[in-house]
Amino acid sequence: MSSAAAIESVETARTVKPGSRAWRRFCRHRLALFGIAAIVLMVLASVVGPWLIPFDQLKIDIRHRFAPPPWEGHLFGTDMLGRDLLVRLLMAGRISLSIGFLAMIVSTAFGTFIGVTAGYYGGAIRVALMRFVDAMLCFPSIFLLLILAAFIQPSVATITLIIAATSWMEVARVVEGQVRSLRERDFILAAEMIGAPGRYVMLRELLPNAIGPIVVAATLTVARAVLMEAYVSFLGYGIQAPMASWGNMLNNAQQYLGSAPWLAIFPGLMITLSVASFNFVGDGLRDALDARLDLR
């Protein structure tokens, strides 16, 4: 092979990996970096924090009710039962963030499954599945959430599932669109031509090329789930006392808005901070993973 030998000598490999390029684009996104930092900080603080603070979250201390921050070691003050607000905030963070992440995992998995199936098979299967998605989207999800929550014993697991059940549609739509556009690409045809079964095409060929949009949608889903949990708990259908979540802390703080505003301000800030952070990261990822920028 005369031409072949020479090919070897002239290699035109470009050293820039698409991954590193995406990372560079992400880093240019200031808010997304801020978001990542805030999320890491919140997660770390929630996990480790309660051990470092010398107060128990359930320890009632009637003498020090409504202590304004900072008060004798109660950095964020105390609540109506004299419990340390900071430690409760961090414990609530464990609950709220776990629900956010777990709901994201469940809804992303389910939404991806529905989206890939609909996009790959097309035809009647697609029509049926996407009608279902549309129907679910039409239904006001908060409403659905409240109805479900009213009938089901609230716990972390059930709240997670309920939130997931109302948040997978966006992922499904995004994935379906992506898969449908990939479906007509030559490399998918090539896989069909080697006799690849549907499972292989979906898992090995389609899914890896849809990871970008899935990751973005998943990040935004966490934000949404945290917000939803807060909402449901705020209305009293979610996480129940004495367990703390940012939502039910807000709920409890309602009556004391005038006298002890910090009881509402801190959980409110945490919700805002986490939701905003996840949204920033989602936006940053969307820009960074935009596949069009990677093509040549």
List residues bridging with 84 in a β-sheet: 78
Report the alpha-carbon angle 159-218-87, nearest 5: 50
| 16 to 35: interface string for other proteins, x by CB under 8 A | xxx--x--x-----------
> How near is the Cβ of 292 to other proteins at its closest, in Å?
12
What number of chain residues touch other proteins (CB under 8 A)?
A: 38
User: Does residue number 13 form part of the binding site for other proteins (CB under 8 A)?
Assistant: yes
Instruction: With beta carbons less than 8 A apart as the criterion, state whether 99 and 156 touch.
Output: yes
Identify the residue among 54, 123, 208, 258 touching other proteins (CB under 8 A). Answer: 208
> How near is the Cβ of 91 to other proteins at its closest, in Å?
41
Q: 26 or 132: whose CB is closer to other proteins?
A: 26
> What are the C-alpha distances in Å from 23 to residues 34, 38, 72, 139, 197?
15, 18, 45, 38, 34
Q: 21 or 131: whose CB is closer to other proteins?
A: 21
Residues 176-205, interacting with other proteins (CB under 8 A): 185-187, 189-197, 200, 204-205
Query: Given the rule CB under 8 A, which of 10-18, 73-81, 149-157, 227-235 is the region that contacts other proteins?
Result: 10-18
User: Does residue number 292 form part of the binding site for other proteins (CB under 8 A)?
Assistant: no
Encoding tokens for residue 272? 């805002």
Residues 6 or more apart whose Cβ sits within 8 Å of residue 146:
232, 235, 237
Half-sphere exposure of 24 (CA within 13 A, CB side): 8
| 34 to 53: interface string for other proteins, x by CB under 8 A | --------------------
Over its C-alpha atoms, the chain yields an Rg (Å, rounded) of 24
3-state SS assignment for residue 10: coil
| 213 to 252: interface string for other proteins, x by CB under 8 A | ----------------------------------------
Q: Where would I find the beta strands (DSSP E) of 58-152?
A: none
Residues 6 or more apart whose Cβ sits within 8 Å of residue 260:
66, 68, 77, 79, 80, 253
Burial 186-213 (b: 16+ CB within 10 A, else e): eebeebeeeeeeeeebbeebbbebbebb
User: Does residue number 75 form part of the binding site for other proteins (CB under 8 A)?
Assistant: no
Q: 23 or 139: whose CB is closer to other proteins?
A: 23
> How near is the Cβ of 196 to other proteins at its closest, in Å?
5
Q: Which residues are near other proteins by CB under 8 A?
A: 1-10, 12-14, 16-18, 21, 24, 185-187, 189-197, 200, 204-205, 208-209, 294-296
